[in-house]
């Protein structure tokens, strides 16, 4: 076990609790939403690179400025008053500007897309197009075309004219939207070809999927929205990929195979607009084929290669073609146990593995010349993220940022400069321009500490060991005015599910001001990422395969064991809180290890994985019919009678992710078993409670702990 303590002047001030420097306590509103509102760190507004240039643009006041690097000459690119004058609008602030190419940009004003053309120092504005009020998934392309969806159909604006691409009367056949419940990295359903000549789109037939009612309670009588919700082991939807040719109004469906309940991922056009590449993942999610299709006939050309894993393959990224070389592309894979990049020829031949090591590539950022790529990765530590230049031939890596912490890197098109924004436990935020050759650095803005006048706790970084020796990283937040001779009530916050990492070396050091609020009110708070969470490689993530909740509880109980070893932790007054997967974990710990925690709050919890969506659940648990013991062990309904202590469940009444029925059925089981349970709902909310009502939520949770732990 290793414990790291924050050091330096700031930590010393915290430990000494100097009254003159640390007076204020967080309000619940500040603890809940402050880091995105009144206590937000200062940063560059709308920082971006002008395409095909070394010019960095940002919004300052009512203007957008442009600075050339390395000369650092700054000019005013856009003025809000000029936009309002040209477009006869009354915008109060600079809108969100997006670049189409070096000399074309646009923004969306309600349903109207306004476009500007830059010609030297002059700017000419025009109304590009107006979409219908019900338009969604609006996707502009630099060719001048705009695609969007209305209800379940896809439309295209071409040469100023709106054309219906699809005409499906059945609302359960959906075109142009993201599919597969947005798993596998899917976040859209519209794919323009590189030059905008053609339009590919997902077509999802979900007529065969069970209906599920989501009740809206804000009307009298209440109204049922019927959605399609494919539950584990049940019938899944069928997805195809279509290609529309605007010049001929012809649509081609790619011949992706007879097995209709497979998953279509990683959709990528080739640079010449001749072919489309698709990853075909079987429903068991243990076999992937990367296939090449003729975009004009729909015919499958060949399978480039296949990947398989005894547990699951988890594709999330499209292909990236090498700059100035349409015969090679970069592919993401976990095949060696960590997510890395591989260079392939378009005939399916592996050229080489580009990145290697016991660490994870987080992002592909772009190219620096033709032989180097830019990435972010957890190479230094799973708690940090840094930017690197990687040579495609040798694999040699050069770090392009400086400063410990979590970096967000945005390169210009050539990869010669990056916009680097980072923070760590002691640095609220720094925004810089850096040369990727390491010879240039310009600090644009260093944020003052927005929390400097608050009475903040000491935060200790903790490393524990799982049963198999795996290091587990946690944070211990001590009460303000900490007295080691006292006994304190303690709260454990957890998630511990796939694809999520709670802990980072970032600002604020606690990771969450609510933890600090609780520390200000006399609590010890502990949080830890156990096995099953992300950014640690496949063995770490797949340790939970087919038995969700077991290994994760083992790890969280290691945290409890550590807490009990601390003389100032009152192990008779321990509380637990988590949401979503964390809600499942919270309820599981209360029922499978009763008596460890005196009280707990579980939000939006999964109670029975058979009632959760196919794509996520079957990846980690297989189908219920293939893993009956795993599902039975994770099922919480038949364990209700084990409950000791106080448990409150919270759920959004319109939750379409973890449907409300999970907690309603659990509540009914408690009644049947004579078990007392506390319960609260948030009308009108889906899976998360946000905005001002989140303050109400966190006050509700805090009051519960105050009632039963103090």
Q: What digits encode the pLDDT tens for the residues 398-414?
A: 999 999 999 999 999 99
pLDDT band with cut points at 50, 70 and 90 for residue 259 = confident
The residue annotated as part of the active site, out of 580, 588, 608, 662, is 580
Q: Are strands 325-333 and 320-322 parallel, antiparallel or unpaired?
A: antiparallel
Higher pLDDT pick, 19 / 98: 98
Is 580 among the residues known to form the active site?
A: yes
pLDDT value at position 156? 98
Residue partners of 30: CB distance under 8 A and separation at least 6: 38, 39, 513, 517
Instruction: Please give the average per-residue pLDDT across 439-466, as a whole number.
Output: 98
Mean pLDDT of the chain: 96
Neighbour tally for 669: CB within 10 Å = 18
Instruction: Please give the average per-residue pLDDT across 675-679, as a whole number.
Output: 98
pLDDT band with cut points at 50, 70 and 90 for residue 121 = confident
Residue 12 has pLDDT above 80, yes or no: no
Neighbour tally for 303: CB within 10 Å = 12
The residue annotated as part of the active site, out of 178, 687, 696, 706, is 687
Residue partners of 594: CB distance under 8 A and separation at least 6: 642, 643, 644, 645
Element spanning 434, H or E: strand 427-435
pLDDT value at position 6? 39
pLDDT value at position 15? 36
The Cα angle at residue 364 between residues 359 and 370, in degrees rounded to 5: 115
For 519-554, the pLDDT digits (tens) are: 999 999 999 999 999 999 999 999 999 999 999 999
For 345-394, the pLDDT digits (tens) are: 999 999 999 999 999 999 999 999 999 999 999 999 999 999 999 999 99
Ordered alpha helix ranges (H), 404-492: none
Contact at 8 Å (CB) between 363 and 400? no
For 616-674, the pLDDT digits (tens) are: 999 999 999 999 999 999 999 999 999 999 999 999 999 999 999 999 999 999 999 99
pLDDT value at position 1? 43
pLDDT value at position 258? 83
Is 687 among the residues known to form the active site?
A: yes
pLDDT band with cut points at 50, 70 and 90 for residue 23 = confident
Residue 4 has pLDDT above 80, yes or no: no
For 174-204, the pLDDT digits (tens) are: 999 999 999 999 999 999 999 999 999 999 9
pLDDT value at position 508? 98
Contact at 8 Å (CB) between 599 and 702? no
- List beta partners, residue 149: 136, 154
pLDDT band with cut points at 50, 70 and 90 for residue 157 = very high
Q: What share of the chain is helix, strand, coil (3-state, %, to 5)?
A: 15, 40, 45
Instruction: Please give the average per-residue pLDDT across 327-352, as a whole number.
Output: 98
Contact at 8 Å (CB) between 493 and 477? no
R_g (Cα) of the chain, nearest Å:
27
Is 655 among the residues known to form the active site?
A: yes
The residue annotated as part of the active site, out of 141, 270, 555, 655, is 655
pLDDT band with cut points at 50, 70 and 90 for residue 22 = very low
The pTM (predicted TM-score) of the whole model is 0.94
For 679-693, the pLDDT digits (tens) are: 999 999 999 999 999
Residue 11 has pLDDT above 90, yes or no: no
pLDDT value at position 120? 87
């Amino acid at each position: 076990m290793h414990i790291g303590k924050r050091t330096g002047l700031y930590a010393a001030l915290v430990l000494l609790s100097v009254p003159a420097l640390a007076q204020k306590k967080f309000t619940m509103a500040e603890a809940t939403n402050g880091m995105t509102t009144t206590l937000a760190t200062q940063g560059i507004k709308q920082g971006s690179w002008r395409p095909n240039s070394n010019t960095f643009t940002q919004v300052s006041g009512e203007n957008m400025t442009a600075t050339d690097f390395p000369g650092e000459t700054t000019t005013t690119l856009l003025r809000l008053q000029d936009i309002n004058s040209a477009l006869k609008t009354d915008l109060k602030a600079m809108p969100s500007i997006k670049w189409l190419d070096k000399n074309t940009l646009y923004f969306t004003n309600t349903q109207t897309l306004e476009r500007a053309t830059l010609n030297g120092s002059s700017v000419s504005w025009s109304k590009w197009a107006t979409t219908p009020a019900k338009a969604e998934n609006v996707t502009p392309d630099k060719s001048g075309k705009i695609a969007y969806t209305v209800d379940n159909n896809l439309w295209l604006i071409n040469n100023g004219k709106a054309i219906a691409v699809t005409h499906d009367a059945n609302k359960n056949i959906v075109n142009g939207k993201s599919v597969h419940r947005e798993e596998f990295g899917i976040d859209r359903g519209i794919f323009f070809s590189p030059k905008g000549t053609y339009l590919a789109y997902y077509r999802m037939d979900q007529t065969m999927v069970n209906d599920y009612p989501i009740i809206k309670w804000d009307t009298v009588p209440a109204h049922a929205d019927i959605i399609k919700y494919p539950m584990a082991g049940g019938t899944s939807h069928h997805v195809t990929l279509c290609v529309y040719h605007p010049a001929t109004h012809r649509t081609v469906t790619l011949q992706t195979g007879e097995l209709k309940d497979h998953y279509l991922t990683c959709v990528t056009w080739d640079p010449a607009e001749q072919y489309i590449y698709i990853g075909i993942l079987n429903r068991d999610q243990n076999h992937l084929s990367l296939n090449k299709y003729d975009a004009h006939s729909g015919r499958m050309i060949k399978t480039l290669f296949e990947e398989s894993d005894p547990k699951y393959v988890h594709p999330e990224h499209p292909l990236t073609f090498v700059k100035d070389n349409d015969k090679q592309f970069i592919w993401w894979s976990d095949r060696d146990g960590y997510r890395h990049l591989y260079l392939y020829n378009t005939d399916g031949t592996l050229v080489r593995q580009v990145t290697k090591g016991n660490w994870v590539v987080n992002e592909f950022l772009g190219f620096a010349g033709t032989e180097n790529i830019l990435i972010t990765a957890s190479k230094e530590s799973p708690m940090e993220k840094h930017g690197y230049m990687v040579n495609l031939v040798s694999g040699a890596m050069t770090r392009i940022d400086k400063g410990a912490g979590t970096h967000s890197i945005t390169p210009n098109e050539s990869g010669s400069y990056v916009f680097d924004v980072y923070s760590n436990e002691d640095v609220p935020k720094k925004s810089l321009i850096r040369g990727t050759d390491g010879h240039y650095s310009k600090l644009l803005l260093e944020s003052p500490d927005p929390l400097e006048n608050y009475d903040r706790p000491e935060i200790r970084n903790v490393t524990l060991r799982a049963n198999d020796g795996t290091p587990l990283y946690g944070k211990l937040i001590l009460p303000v005015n900490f007295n080691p001779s006292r006994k304190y009530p303690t709260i454990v916050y957890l998630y511990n599910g796939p694809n999520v990492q709670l802990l980072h070396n970032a600002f604020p050091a606690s990771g969450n001001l609510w933890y600090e609020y609780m520390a200000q009110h006399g609590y010890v708070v502990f949080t830890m990422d156990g096995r099953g969470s992300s950014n640690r490689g496949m063995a770490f993530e797949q340790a939970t395969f087919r038995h969700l909740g077991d290994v994760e509880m083992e790890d969280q109980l290691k945290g409890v064991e550590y807490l009990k070893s601390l003389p100032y932790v009152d192990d008779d007054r321990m509380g637990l809180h988590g949401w979503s997967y964390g809600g499942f974990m919270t309820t599981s710990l209360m029922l499978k290890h009763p008596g460890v925690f005196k009280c707990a709050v579980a939000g939006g919890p999964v109670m029975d994985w058979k009632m959760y969506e196919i794509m996520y659940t079957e990846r980690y648990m297989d189908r219920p019919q293939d893993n009956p013991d795993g599902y039975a062990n994770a099922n919480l309904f038949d364990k209700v009678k084990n409950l000791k202590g106080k448990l409150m469940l919270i759920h959004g009444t319109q939750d379409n992710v973890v449907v409300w029925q999970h907690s309603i059925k659990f509540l009914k089981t408690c009644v049947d078993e004579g078990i007392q349970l506390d319960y609260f709902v948030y009308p009108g909310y889906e899976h998360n409670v946000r905005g001002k009502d989140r303050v109400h939520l966190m006050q509700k949770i805090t009051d519960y702990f105050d009632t039963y732990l103090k």
